[in-house]
Structure 1
């Protein structure tokens, strides 16, 4: 179990590393993490990468997400003067950024859900039409 999850974490890390190099090489205005996420989504949608190949690794990473924020907390403690003078500006910037990310994420999820519903509805209507055609031919 752990070996599988660790292998998947290495796969995700390798994908991130490739995306980081690609973003740097092409001088993209996006970080390697964003490029990697787009690359992973494209690979998942195309079927090149199966969800089961990265699921355990992604769960391991998400389950330990708190550990990634420890350096951030240490940095906040080191820069108390900055927070005293620019704290409100930082809070507003973080709040606006957070709300923007949440809004865009919600819109993208809703768009994808709508597309999935349309596909399922289309398949359902095709099956019903085929059944009606078949039943009318039999009669």
Structure 2
């Protein structure tokens, strides 16, 4: 199943990725951690979280933020696109750090289906250039 990521802004994308990558063993991320990682003040981070809550992608409990099931799927879709596009760029000769930065500019815009086609075309790598797993959204 393909998840629509076109309804999130760049800042929301960044927050979703933080929530997906920084939560450990189902331990939520604190609002303060989001603000630090986004390099914004806590009220700005709170506004982003509230927008994600209105979209049904995140929930906040006692200063801790977690992804909803829908939010987790959107975040994983973004990461699939990111790591696929990053791999494509690296295979084309772009240095890994530059590829990562470029992928972050478009990973929330490129449809997941397109990323899956690219993934097949580049040989279905299991990891991105930084060693993080490339997983389809429905995979566990």
TM-score above 0.5, yes or no: no
> More helix per residue: 1 or 2?
1
Greater relative contact order, per chain length (Cα 8 Å cut-off, separation 6+):
2
- Higher alpha-carbon Rg: 1
TM-score, with length taken from structure 2: 0.26
> More strand per residue: 1 or 2?
2
TM-score, with length taken from structure 1: 0.26
